[in-house]
Structure 1
């Protein structure tokens, strides 16, 4: 996998690729629409039963540009997406704006970070940008072969986008593999055409990690956009953070994951609390275990549901409240409280949208539960506990 790339300073054997790829296949069609450059492809790769090609549209989104390293079949599917069929759709939805409610600044011990220009409230949109680069998560090409094609992808972008991409943070600092180094330090996973791709949107990539983030993100493959919204109120000039690691892992596991994957040690509030944070996670797990017990002798109560929500907030896990709100909605419904059910079903719907977008898998369930509590199978499943 890409996380296992080995970078060495003596890998300038890159130039030998000219010989190794004399037989690179280049498409001969005279019309490459919607691509602005003739796609450049590898030879057939048996492991994925396809070639991989660089597809670039330098005029995409009013000249922002996009390059995709993927299979011809997936490229054809991408070309049918709305942003390629209707060039105005991104701007009409406020995607790829020239400005936003944030700014970038050097932060002590963190490098570049993103801060709020003004006060933000939970649910406010912070960023919405398409990636400069989408790269198939293959594990077939050698590091230098992959670098060859990804360099073509970046070189074919408009100059401003190319420079923006290359200004992003790297991990290894090896100029011979700089494009992949940027990918490793800044990529998010986006499923396109049924396959996972790595997506690099510099505006979002500038956001640093926190185990108790004040923002939440999701990726929308249908419009090739990475969205970030405020997960709780954010003050003017406060740093905007997202989570790179699973939030429910114990302190040491989170630290090890971040060290292995991103080569840094987290010093956020949860990590500074260490053992106390782990104890809170144990309480959260115990509460959730009780609330998901639907047996006849279940002792789950609405008080436990309210406590669970409070624990999430105390741990700074507002970005993941869809889970706690969902437990609360079902628990209130199980004791026949229409008011409580409607309140938390609505909050669960809002939270799951914040986390997964408007196509969130559970959104319809929470919307329907808010509309008709009595119609759900959980209605009065448990007796109220006083």
Structure 2
């Protein structure tokens, strides 16, 4: 379930480069803490001005283990992160729990899926896990060469983590490149050391896609963790879904993306109502354009803001309500309604947290607007409440 951006290499396209068929190198050193295995490296790769090495800590997070295929410089930065310095830090944040409010079950026509063990409410945490594998998003190595290093990375994990990784869905089913195939079907993207890396979180990877998901996720690189929260209330035994595709894109664009990237045709409720869903997206776009118009002759109103929120919810876009709540907060503030401003600024901050995490840049703005609406530049900028 590779999300956010498309794969930067085709796992079956063999790239001919000078460094593609070099022998594995091992640094001559006896001190490679916090890694439990001696790093295994490519030769220097001119395209990234560095070798790439496999770094494994098999004792990470009480024996869950983690393998990282990255540059030595980035590995040094990762080694300084709290999860690798303080064994208790992940547990203190509720990361890598033994169990959660979900279970996995095979679903007709969808393979494995994640379902709620009990009723969940908006904002409830569903999962919080670290990856088994993190891999630099290079496009330099050939497919066989990349597979060789990724196989080392997975083989060095504890047996239970290796088995969990290899049990995940694949797209092509070619055993000669199984490690890359798992990544192709299941990876998220996480930035480390200023470079994008592919990250496989086995538990979260079981969550299927919906264009109107009932859960939202974010990644927290400082904890090497992936968090999922309920975006709306979820009933017991209801499937928990996230979005693999840009949800605000038209039906045809979403379908093309999912078919091209993940080789499946989405049949979620929004896709079954393709034309109607596209019309709703046009209404959302028009409402947002109106609410974003701060000119003197703007006709934006709180009615527009409330209509925008309804449209998001009607389309099942609860996981992306931060935009609608933000427009509502500013619009209520613009007509001098402190109560409306406080309500929607708080909701916008919550929605931003579910989507981007507690360190999101927008949080300060919404919290300040909630606490001091009259001091914001939008205060009484518009004439009417209607």
| 3-state SS, counterpart of residue 304 of structure 1 | helix
Per mean C-alpha deviation after superposition, the further-off stretch among 279-288 and 87-96 is: 87-96
Q: Deviations over 1:197-224 (max 9, x none)?
A: 0000010000000000000000000000
Match of 2:47 in 1: 47
Instruction: After TM superposition, give the deviation of residue 28 of structure 1 in Å.
Output: 1.4
Is the 1:137–1:197 Cα contact (8 Å) retained in structure 2? Answer: yes
Instruction: After TM superposition, give the deviation of residue 4 of structure 1 in Å.
Output: 4.1
Is the 1:64–1:158 Cα contact (8 Å) retained in structure 2? Answer: yes
Match of 1:21 in 2: 22
Match of 1:7 in 2: 12
Write the distance in 1 (CA, Å) between the matches of 2:109 and 2:246.
Answer: 23
Q: Deviations over 1:334-384 (max 9, x none)?
A: 111111101100000011001001011100000000000010001111111
Instruction: After TM superposition, give the deviation of residue 110 of structure 1 in Å.
Output: 0.2
Q: Deviations over 1:288-328 (max 9, x none)?
A: 00000011111100000000000000000000000000000
Instruction: After TM superposition, give the deviation of residue 3 of structure 1 in Å.
Output: 5.1
Write the distance in 1 (CA, Å) between the matches of 2:331 and 2:207.
Answer: 36
Match of 2:307 in 1: 307
Runs of 4+ in 1 over 4 A off after TM superposition: none
Write the distance in 1 (CA, Å) between the matches of 2:317 and 2:363.
Answer: 20
Q: Deviations over 1:235-282 (max 9, x none)?
A: 000000000000110001000000000000000000001100000000
Match of 1:15 in 2: none
Counterparts of 1:1-386 in structure 2 under 5 Å?
Answer: 2=7, 4-7=9-12, 20-22=21-23, 24-386=24-386
Alignment size in residue pairs:
376
Write the distance in 1 (CA, Å) between the matches of 2:25 and 2:183.
Answer: 25
Sort the Cα spacing of 1:381 and 1:212 in 2 relative to 1 into closer, same or farther, 3 A: same
Query: What TM-score do the two structures reach when normalised by structure 1?
Result: 0.96
Q: Deviations over 1:36-76 (max 9, x none)?
A: 00000000011101110000000000000000000000000
Is the 1:7–1:174 Cα contact (8 Å) retained in structure 2? Answer: no
Write the distance in 1 (CA, Å) between the matches of 2:127 and 2:34.
Answer: 26
Is the 2:9–2:139 Cα contact (8 Å) retained in structure 1? Answer: no
Structure 1 vs Structure 2 CA RMSD: 1.3
Is the 1:3–1:184 Cα contact (8 Å) retained in structure 2? Answer: no
Is the 1:3–1:261 Cα contact (8 Å) retained in structure 2? Answer: no
Is the 1:212–1:315 Cα contact (8 Å) retained in structure 2? Answer: yes
Write the distance in 1 (CA, Å) between the matches of 2:246 and 2:21.
Answer: 41
Unaligned 5+ runs, structure 2: 1-5, 15-19
Instruction: After TM superposition, give the deviation of residue 25 of structure 1 in Å.
Output: 2.5
Unaligned 5+ runs, structure 1: 12-18
Write the distance in 2 (CA, Å) between the matches of 1:107 and 1:3.
Answer: 31
